[in-house]
Structure 1
């Protein structure tokens, strides 16, 4: 059986990762969405087990100690991580899975899954990014400034990604990501590997 494709989508806070992933899931229901664990407070409309697995700091530390996370990172005072078992089982079933995670976490995943496809979601501009964060109405001025400082640092890490997609329009961003998935499935090495595996059966 052909192993699934691991697609890692990340970018600065406020760039619209969650919105793009939600739209992408509607357009490509065959994509499996990996739900991350986090210690941050749920935003309005977010559902536990759907958007995130919301954990206390104590629960999250337990997951770290028992090696239950593929990656984890601390970001602006909160922890984020990807449950290990769900991702591996999905790939082994030949299904494509998308991880929507912070930049720090994505780089850790790349160490363990260098064959993954890493996509950096970019804002049209830093000014637009700040407007989106302010528009949430959930962040203090101090937190907004911390997020903007972090965004500049994260954009500098884009060199470690395979692709960069500008989120100027949700549907356009989704189309570009779907094109990336199609292209990756058509890569010579991947097709040849499938052919050799079938010959062994």
Structure 2
């Protein structure tokens, strides 16, 4: 089913800057709304329940999955992550544009269920820079960083399945690229026909 709102799905390897870019995009674009995912992992740092994620137990997560309440779900770095189907569909049905920050597995699941979704992959400029960013976080053990670097090679290889790729070498440039993708999607014929219906009627456009 095609909804009046757009669904933007952003994925990246850990450390590529996905969350920082999406947060900055939301501050620039009041028409965008972020979907908060559910996860079985524990909060990190200053993360809060209902802000970054809905933090629930693995048993609660598995129950929701069994009831078909997730749009998509996947296991990442040993933790479960999922997107509420009802929350996404309700927002898009009302014409809202929604951004999802998820891993590549979930993104590809959504593309199968919802072909109109716009998939965006964030790439680091190099493996060396990705390692530096992971180390700069200062809250991740060396063995975890090694695991994430290993996983990143598989994740980056999936970028070819995405509609757009943004290289986050210079943050301001990457943010401009991300914003341009959102703007371009809103200028497509079907979107303009919905949003500028009076103009289309006046010009006798189908």
Aligned to 1:116: 117
Q: Which runs of 5+ in 2 are unaligned?
A: 202-206
Partner of 1:188: 189
TM-score, normalised by the number of residues in structure 2: 0.89
SS of the residue 1:151 aligns to? helix
Secondary structure in structure 1 of the residue aligned to 2:165:
strand
User: Which range is displaced more, 184-193 or 23-32?
Assistant: 184-193
130-139 or 25-34, which deviates more: 130-139
How far does residue 16 in structure 1 lie from its aligned partner after superposition?
1.2
What is the aligned partner in structure 2 of residue 131 from structure 1? 132
Q: Structure 1 unaligned segments of length 5 or more: list them.
A: none
> For the residues of structure 2 that align with 1:170 and 1:24, how far apart are their CA atoms?
11
Structure-2 separation of matches of 1:82 and 1:37: 6
CA contact (8 A) 2:4 2:191 kept: no
Contact 2:72 2:82 in 1 (8 A): yes
The Cα of 1:191 is off from its aligned counterpart by 3.8
| Secondary structure in 2 matching 1:124 | coil
Counterpart in 2 of 1:155? 156
Alpha-carbon separation, structure 2, partners of 1:101 and 1:7? 11
Deviation at 1:170, TM superposition (A): 2.8
Partner of 1:106: 107
The alignment status of 1:37 with 2:38, answered yes or no, reads yes
The corresponding residue for 2:66 is: 65
TM-score for the superposition, normalised by structure 1? 0.91
Mapped to 1, the partners of 2:80 and 2:125 lie a distance apart of 27
Q: Is residue 4–residue 194 contact of structure 2 (8 Å, CA) maintained in 1?
A: no
Secondary structure of residue in 1 paired with 2:54: strand
Over the aligned positions, Cα root-mean-square deviation in angstroms equals 1.8
Shift of 1:43: 1.3
Counterparts of 1:6 and 1:68, CA distance in 2: 18
Distance 2:149 2:133 in 1: 11
